[in-house]
Structure 1
Amino acid sequence: MSESDPDTDNESRDDLGSLMERSGSEEGRPDQPEIHPLTIEILSECLSLLCKTGNGLAHAYVRVDLKDRGLTDINALRPFIHLRYLDVSMNFLRDLSSLTNLSHLLWLCADENYLTSAYIEDLPFLQVASMAKNRIRDTEGIGHPLLESLNLIENQIREVSGLDPNKLTRLHTLELRGNMLESTEGINLPNLQNLYLAGNSINRLEGLEVLTGLRTLHLRDNHLESLQGFSASMASLQYINFRGNLIVKIQEMKHLQCLPALRALIIAENPCTEEESYRLETLLLLRKLERLDKEGFSTDDRLEAEEIHKQREAEQKEKEANERDGESWGDGGEREIWGASGCAASGSQRESRRRRERQIQGEGRSEDYREMAGIEDTLRLWEGGIQGEGVSRTWTRPQQ
Structure 2
Amino acid sequence: MADNLGQDLVAEDLELSQVDKTVTSEGFAYTRLDCVGKQIGGLGILAEYPFIRNLDLSRNCIKDVRPISSLRHVLSLNLASNHILSMDWAPEDLPHLLYLDMSGNRLQELPPLHMPALRNADFRDNSIASCSKFSGHLTLQMLRLCGNQLTSAVGLQQMPKLEVLELGRNVLSDLDGMAMLPSMSRLDISSNKFETLRAPWKEMAALSILEAANNAFAEVKALQPLAEIIQLRSLTVNGCPLEEQDGVNMRLEVLIFRPLQHINGEEVTSEEQEEAKALHEKRLEEEAERLRQEEEDQHRLDSARPTAPALTPSGRRV
The reply to whether TM is greater than 0.5 is: yes
Contact (CA 8 Å) 2:142, 2:165: kept in 1 or not? yes
1:215 aligns with 2:163: no
TM-fit CA distance, 1:319: 5.1
CA-to-aligned-CA distance 1:132-159 (integer Å, 9 cap, x gap): 1111111224210110111111111111
> Which secondary structure does the structure 1 equivalent of 2:281 belong to?
helix
Is contact 1:137-1:155 (8 Å) kept? yes
C-alpha distance after superposition, 1:268-317 (max 9, x if no partner): 1100111342221221122x222111112212111122222233334444
Match of 2:313 in 1: none
Partner in structure 2 of residue 361 of structure 1: none
- Mark the runs of 5 or more structure 2 residues left unpaired by the alignment: 310-318
Matched ranges for 1:260-339 at <5 A: 260-275=230-245, 276-286=248-258, 288-317=259-288, 335=303
Q: Any conservation in 2 of the 1:181–1:201 contact (CA below 8 Å)?
A: yes
SS in 2 for 1:136: coil
1:179 aligns with 2:148: yes
Q: Distance in 1 between matches of 2:265 and 2:107?
A: 34
SS of structure 1 residue aligned to 2:100: strand
Q: Which residue of the other structure, out of 32, 46, 52, is the alignment partner of 1:63? A: 32
Provide the residue aligned with 1:192 in structure 2: 162
Q: CA offset at residue 246 of structure 1?
A: 1.4
**Corresponding residue of 2:61:** 92
TM-score normalised over the length of structure 2: 0.87
Distance, in Å, in 2 between the alignment partners of 1:81 and 1:247 is 52
8 Å CA contact 1:209, 1:231 repeated in 2: no
Q: Secondary structure at the match of 1:232?
A: helix
Answering whether residue 111 of structure 2 is matched by residue 111 of structure 1, we say no
Alignment check: 8 A CA contact 1:230 1:258 kept: no
Q: Which amino acid aligns with 1:216?
A: R
CA distance in 1, matches of 2:19, 2:4: 36
Give the direction of change, closer, same or farther, for the CA distance of 1:326–1:232 in structure 2 (3 Å limit).
farther
For residue 218 of structure 1, report the CA deviation from its aligned partner.
1.0
Aligned residue number for residue 140 of structure 1: 111
Which is strand-richer, 1 or 2?
2
| C-alpha deviation, 1:205, in angstroms | 2.1
Q: 1:319 to 1:243 in 2, by over 3 A?
A: same
Shift of 1:321: 6.1
Report if aligned partners of 1:79, 1:101 keep a CA contact under 8 Å in 2.
Answer: no
* 1:335 counterpart SS class: helix
Post-superposition Cα deviations, 1:111-167, rounded to whole Å, max 9, x if no partner, equal 1111001342331110000011111111224210110111111111111133333xx
The CA distance in 1 between the partners of 2:43 and 2:21, in whole Å, is: 24
Q: Name whichever structure is richer in helix by fraction.
A: 1
Gap regions ≥5 residues in structure 1: 1-30, 337-395
Cα deviation per residue 1:46-85 (whole Å; 9 max; x = unaligned)?
1110001123231111000011121111110113211100
Is the 1:103–1:123 Cα contact (8 Å) retained in structure 2? Answer: yes
Q: Give the total of aligned pairs.
A: 302
Are 1:120 and 1:142, in contact at CA under 8 Å, matched by a contact in 2? Answer: no
Q: Distance in 1 between matches of 2:213 and 2:165?
A: 15
Q: Which residue of 2 aligns with 1:240?
A: 210
> How far is the alpha carbon of 1:238 from its aligned partner?
0.9
Q: Which residue of 1 aligns with 2:225?
A: 255
Contact 2:196–2:223 (CA under 8 A) maintained in structure 1: no
> How big is the shift at 1:232?
2.3
User: Which of 172, 175, 184 is the equivalent residue of 1:202?
Assistant: 172
Structure showing greater Rg = 1
User: C-alpha distance in 1, partners of 2:27/2:306?
Assistant: 109
CA distance in structure 2 between the partners assigned to 1:56 and 1:139 by the alignment: 37
Q: Which residue, 100, 107, 113 being the options, matches 1:129?
A: 100
TM-score (norm 1): 0.70
Q: CA RMSD in A?
A: 2.4
Cα deviation for residue 40 of structure 1 reads 2.9
- Contact between 2:58 and 2:80, CA under 8 Å: does it hold in 1? yes
Classify the secondary structure of the residue corresponding to 1:257.
helix
